Chain A
Amino acid sequence: MKGKKPINYWKSEYIGRMLVTFCGFLIVFATLAIIVFICSKGIQSFTQSHISLKEMLFSKQWAPNDSAHPKYGAVIFIVGSTLVSIGAVLLSAPIAIALAVFINYIWPEFGTKVLKPVLELLIGIPSVVYGFLGVTLLVPMLRDSFGGVGFSLIAGIIVLSIMILPTIASIAADAIGAVPHAYLEASYGLGSTRWQAISRVIVPAARKGILTGVVLGLARAFGEALAVQMVIGNTVKLPSGLYSPTATLTGILTMDMSNTLNGTAWNNALWTLAMILLLISFFFILIVRAIGQRGGK
């Protein structure tokens, strides 16, 4: 790129532009390829194995190993995944918003020097390690204090809430940081305390960004596999309460996918579960977009 001739300028300009455009489109291609692959495998349970879509989506009976009357209802896993993810967000979001406020308004110095690095480290801890901590610390603790076996919905919720905390907190912190400082000054001017300004002006003004963080946290919670599978108990039934074990989409995938054979109805049904997982995470992305567009900026 040391060339001095004008023609070289245009060449580098042209080639560079081609290269980066290629990179941009590669992402599109990869995403589409994944969708096509997973979905083409996922619909095989309907086209090849003749499982009814209605059974898949509305039946609570999951018994693909029953040789006489196999059943492929995915309701338990969809409900299990939903409950554990929503529970995790309910627990995590208030803490995340508190952190975001703290970072921006209470003690920014401590926020940037300590809290943000801490959140980054929390992301960096591998999910296997979270699962291991969950099994060896959290599960026995829950069993001793609340009875039961300890492997439960609440154990999954707690582990997940820690894992998605950095996601929600960092997006919320950016959103709150983007609220113009004039808002704060204006409410001080009107005689409000710091808390009144934060709770009635700043946080509401940043609610779009916060909501985006919450939905992305939800999406992340839905897709998390190993840690949740290790602590939730994986019992194929709807949970009767917070302390009762249940199963999730990712859990059943990790456990059964590698033990079943390509082309069998069982394996196809699992791919359909993977497809459902994929579609749910897209659904969340669409929600995020809708939030972004509503009252667009």
Chain B
Amino acid sequence: MLKRNLKLAMGALLITGALAGCGNSDSTAKETGENKKEETAQSYSGTLTAAGSTALQPLAEEAANEFMQKYPDVSITVQGGGSGTGVNQVAAGAVQIGNSDVPSAEKIEDKTKAGELVDNKVAGIAFALVVNKDVKVESLTAQQIQDIFSGKVKNWKEVGGNDEKINVINRPASSGTRATFEKTLMKGVKVNDSIGTVQDSNGAVEQAIKSTPGAISYVAMSYLVGDKANALTTLKIDGAEPTVENIKAQKYPFWSYEYMVTKGEAQDAVKGFIDFVKSEEFAAKVKEMGYIPISELE
């Protein structure tokens, strides 16, 4: 009896699978809006998946939700997985959009493949140096930051704080946040990986900074929303606060673009979605979520 039931269930499962499989194969983003209603100039349909950067994921998810409300025929899935996964999958054709913190060309070694990929800048993201509440320093110069993360300076009193050991917390060597940190602030000075600890994510960094006296690290501003902003102290860099104005005036260096990478030029629903993320219409939400609208950067 049990065996027979199981067989039935398995059978049902296979049928479901087959059906779903069929549905899947033709549900790429290729369909154009033309064969749908002709009444609006712009109408999109199809299924598309974006995967990659965890830093961009919240924004992409929110954009996907609003885009799907506007165009109910479109179904967008947003996955995390890291910038590398995003570029890998878009290069392999497994997803239509690869979210990345860095231009795909910087990640890909095989230059022939890199040529196929198009990096679309969709937003800016600012990062902030953050310290534990007990650290009495308000601003650091680029030079001091380099000294701290390369291990030259080990005590807060050397940079104007109280007598307390500096506990450096880094992100993993492969993370996009770390790459931006090295590019914009370390400028060729090597981060010393044998000091301090490494935490995998914004959340883990936040947790570690909050509980470790004398800790310093860096997180995305988009992560520092709500009560998280009050739990940590944000440092000024060379006296400049991480604001859009300072970034535009080139006073605050620690920021980067976020990219939606496509294989070939974006078309149809994919283009529609990327344009939506960059649009004036969505800009307020971008700002609210702690990112910088692309319109303000160009």
A and B physically associate? yes
Give the B-binding residues of A (Cβ under 8 A): 62-66, 135-136, 139-140, 143, 149-151, 229-230, 233-237, 245, 247, 252, 254-267
Q: Which residues of B contact A135 (CB under 8 A)?
A: 204, 207-208
**Cβ–Cβ contact B207 & A259, under 8 A:** no
Cβ 8 A contact of B194, one of A149, A151, A237: A237
Q: Which chain A residue shows the least CB distance to B174?
A: A259
* A229:B200 contact, CB within 8 angstroms: yes
Please give, as numbers and ranges, the residues of chain A lying within 8 Å of B204 by CB-CB distance: 135, 230
Q: Give the 5 A-B CB pairs with smallest separation, nearest first.
A: A258-B82, A259-B174, A234-B198, A233-B197, A255-B172
A266 touches B174 (CB 8 A): yes
Given pairs A258-B82, A260-B107, 11 additional interface contacts (CB within 8 A): A149-B196, A149-B197, A150-B212, A151-B208, A235-B195, A237-B193, A256-B172, A257-B82, A260-B84, A260-B174, A261-B108
Contact B198 A255 (CB under 8 A): yes
B198 closest partner in A (C-beta): A234
Q: Measured between alpha carbons, how far is A252 from B174 in the docked complex, in Å?
A: 10
Q: Mark B207-218, 1 if CB is under 8 A from A, else 0.
A: 110011001000
Interface string of B79-106 (1 = CB under 8 A from A): 0011111011001100000000000000
CB <8 Å contact, B88 and A261: yes
Partner of B197, one of A63, A235, A262, A267: A235
Q: How far is the CB of A226 from chain B (nearest CB, A)?
A: 9
Q: A256-B172, A258-B81, A259-B175 are in contact. Are A234 and B88 (CB under 8 A)?
A: no
What distance in Å separates the Cβ of A127 from its nearest Cβ neighbour in chain B? 14
Tell me the complex Cα distance, A233–B212, Å: 12
Within 8 A of A (CB), among B108-147: 108-110
Determine if A261 and B107 form an interchain contact, defined as CB atoms under 8 angstroms apart: yes
In the complex, 27 of the A-B residue pairs with CB atoms within 8 angstroms, ordered by the A residue number, are A63-B173, A135-B204, A143-B212, A149-B167, A149-B215, A150-B212, A233-B198, A235-B195, A235-B196, A236-B198, A255-B174, A255-B175, A256-B173, A257-B84, A258-B85, A259-B85, A259-B174, A261-B84, A261-B87, A261-B107, A261-B108, A261-B109, A262-B88, A262-B92, A264-B109, A265-B109, A266-B174
**Considering only CB atoms, which chain A residue lies closest to B193 in the complex?**
A236
**Chain B residue with minimal CB distance to A260?**
B84
Taking CB atoms, residues of chain A closer than 8 Å to B212 are: 143, 149-150
* B190 CB → nearest A CB, Å: 8
* Complex Cα–Cα for A201 and B239 (A): 73
Residue of A nearest to B172 (CB): A255
Choice from B81, B88, B197 contacting A245 with Cβ under 8 Å: B197
Instruction: Give B88's nearest chain A residue, CB to CB.
Output: A262
Cross-chain pair count, CB within 8 angstroms? 93
B176 CB-CB contact with A under 8 Å: yes
Cα-based distance from A217 to B85 in the complex (angstroms): 32
Contact A259 B84 (CB under 8 A): yes
By beta carbon, the residue of chain B nearest A232 is B197
Q: Which residues of B contact A237 (CB under 8 A)?
A: 193-194
Identify the interface centre among B108, B110, B190, B208: most chain A CB within 10 Å of its CB: B208
* B199 close to A (CB within 8 Å): yes
Shortest beta-carbon distance from B132 to chain A in Å: 11
| A139/B194 contact (C-beta < 8 A), A234-B200, A262-B88 known | no
B59-97 interface bits toward A, Cβ cutoff 8 Å, 1 = contact, 0 = none:
000000000000000000000011111011001100000
B109 adjacent to A263 (CB under 8 Å): yes
Chain A nearest CB, measured from B173 CB (Å): 4
In the complex, what's the smallest C-beta–C-beta distance from A42 to chain B, in angstroms? 17
In the complex, the answer to whether B196 meets A65 with C-beta atoms within 8 Å is: no
Residue in contact with A234 in the complex, picked from B92, B190, B199, CB distance below 8 Å: B199
Given contacts A263-B110, A266-B174, contact A254 B200 (CB under 8 A): yes
Considering the chains assembled together, what is the distance between the CA atoms of A217 and B204 in angstroms?
28
For A66, the closest partner residue in chain B by CB is B190
**A259 and B82 within 8 A (CB):** yes
Nearest B residue to A135, CB-CB? B207
A136: chain B residues at CB < 8 Å are: 207
Inside 8 A of A234's CB, which chain B residues have their CB? 172, 197-200
Q: A256–B81 Cα gap in the complex (Å)?
A: 11
Bound together, the chains give a CA A230 to CA B208 distance in angstroms of 10
- Complex: A255 Cα to B167 Cα, angstroms: 20
Which residues from chain B contact A63 at a C-beta distance below 8 Å?
A: 173, 193
Contacts of A236 in B (CB 8 A): 193-194, 198
Which residues of the partner chain B approach A62 to less than 8 Å between Cβ atoms? 193
Which of chain A's residues have a CB closer than 8 A to the CB of B84? 257-261, 267
Complex Cα gap A151–B204 (Å): 12
Complex CA–CA separation, A245 to B168 (angstroms): 12
Q: Chain B contacts of A149 at CB under 8 A?
A: 167, 196-197, 208, 212, 215
The residues of B that contact A143 with a CB separation of less than 8 Å are 211-212
Question: Cβ of B176 and Cβ of A259 under 8 Å apart?
Answer: yes
User: Complex formed: what's the CA distance from A44 to B81 in Å?
Assistant: 23
Q: How far is the CB of A255 from chain B (nearest CB, A)?
A: 4
CB distance from B41 to the nearest CB of A (A): 38
Q: Which of A63, A259, A264 has the most CB of B within 10 A?
A: A259
CA distance A257 to B211 in the complex (A): 28
Contacts of A263 in B (CB 8 A): 108-110
Among A135, A247, A261, A266, chain B packs the most CB atoms within 10 A around the CB of A261
